[in-house]
Amino acid sequence: MRILIGALAVALLAGCVSPGDLESNDPSISASTEKDPKRYALCVLQRWQDARSDVTMSETEYGYRLIAATNNMTDELLSIRKMSKGSSVKLYQRMAWAPGYGRSDMERAVRSCL
C-alpha cells in the first residue's frame, strides 16, 4: 500500500511542470535552421494544431515560443531563438520517455519544418 501511495505522489508531482521547469532540463531535440524564427514557428504551429488543439504561440524577446499544455500543465515547449543566420530550435518535453497524445506528430513537425 505504501508503494502505491508513493507512486501516486510521484506521478502527481511529475504533472506540475511550468515552461520554466521544462527549460531547466536538457532538450529532447536541439537543432538549427536557416529559416527565420517567425517562419519556422508558423510552420510548426500549423502542424502542432493538427495534432492537438491546445497549442499556443507567443513572441519572445529573442524569437518565439510554442506551448502545448493539458490542464494548465506544460507538455511540450518549443523555444525558437534568432541567430545570425536562421534560428536555434529546442524542444522540451514533460516526461519525454512516455508516449503522449500527438507526441510523435509533434516531434515529426519540429524536424520536418527545419
Q: For the segment 29-39, what is each residue's pLDDT rounded down to a tens digit?
A: 999 999 999 99
DSSP H/E element including 54: none
The 63-70 sheet, strands edge to edge = 29-33, 86-93, 73-83, 63-70, 55-59
Q: What is the pLDDT of residue 14?
A: 53
Query: Running DSSP on this structure, what letter comes out for residue 6?
Result: H
Q: The pTM is what?
A: 0.79
- The residue ranges of the chain whose pLDDT is under 70 are 1-18, 20, 95-102
Q: What is the pLDDT of residue 11?
A: 52
Nine cell digits for residue 108: 515529426
Domains and CATH numbers, the chain: 17-112 (3.30.160)
Q: What is the pLDDT of residue 86?
A: 96
